[in-house]
Amino acid sequence: MIGLISGTSEGKELLSNLNNYTDDILVSTATSYGGDLLKDYKYKYLNTTPLDRENMIKLFKEKKVEVLIDASHPYALEVSKNAMEVCNHTGIEYIRFEREKVIEKFLEKEKVLVVENYEDLYSKLKDIKGNILNTTGSRNIEKIIRLSLENRIIHRVLPSLKVIDECFHLGLELHNIIAVKGPISYDLNRAFIREYDAKAILLKDSGKEGGTEEKIKAAIDENIYAIVVDRKSLDYKNKFNNKEEVIKYLKKLQYI
């Protein structure tokens, strides 16, 4: 059986490609929402809850997974770390699929800044006067709050009841929440910047598919700061940025 950890739109596309050859697939997503997006595809088993190391081992052994494709989000390092350790422990072939970074092409722009982590954001934001648009996701809102900035911060999040409830639990007011499903177009990014009179936008490098280019281009053309929290990387054994190359590799090893 082929295991697939799906955390991005490419995970869905990989599953579609795999369905040209087999449905003997175990798919794992972190949420029921992620599972709902896969209802039109073929697989033998679907998990829709986060898995720690022990539960990964148990599930993969039970379902006799022979090869694992890790297409988790590029910022979900703990998922990838656990997946690699589990594969090393169980003898499962590990394959990493990851979106290519796009930030490099914008580094010469004066107002495009990169930080290593959320703690480093403070030094970049403390002198910015005005509103800040945060697009790093609901799981990072608490990190932004802990910076204790004086700015008004508008948080763009997924339009799900669970996420909105989490926002309220963190003390956010309704007028500081934009609930919309990404990726967002260049024009809509510019519209949000203008509507909220943002002087900076916070983002992750989620690749071309994640709408990173549109956010940065909108910030540049609106003459505001684009501050990117950089990806950390692991030492992946088999890493691919191209879905077709993943399929070729699986064919080479006769998994499909």
The mean pLDDT value for 120-124 works out to: 95
Taking the C-alpha atoms of residue 215 and residue 11, their distance in angstroms, rounded to an integer, is 22
Q: What is the pLDDT of residues 87-100, one digit of tens each?
A: 999 999 999 999 89
- pLDDT at residue 256 tops 90: yes
What is the pLDDT confidence band of residue 104, given thresholds at 50, 70 and 90? very high
Query: Please, what is the average pLDDT of the chain?
Result: 96
Q: Which residues fall within 8 angstroms of residue 48, CB to CB, at 6 or more apart?
A: 28, 29, 30, 31, 32, 34, 35
Global model pTM greater than 0.75:
yes
What is the percentage of the chain residues whose pLDDT exceeds 70? 100
Q: What is the pLDDT of residues 141-160, one digit of tens each?
A: 999 999 999 999 999 999 99
pLDDT for position 232:
87
Which of 19, 77, 91, 49 lies closest to 243, judged by CA? Answer: 19
Is domain 103-229 classified as CATH 3.40.50.620? yes
- pLDDT at residue 130 tops 90: yes
pLDDT for position 82:
97
- pLDDT at residue 8 tops 90: no
The mean pLDDT value for 214-242 works out to: 95
The CATH superfamily label for domain 2-100+233-252 reads NAD(P)-binding Rossmann-like Domain (3.40.50.720)
The structural domains of the chain, with segments of one domain joined by +, span 2-100+233-252, 103-229
What is the percentage of the chain residues whose pLDDT exceeds 90? 93
Fold match flag (2-100+233-252 vs 103-229): yes
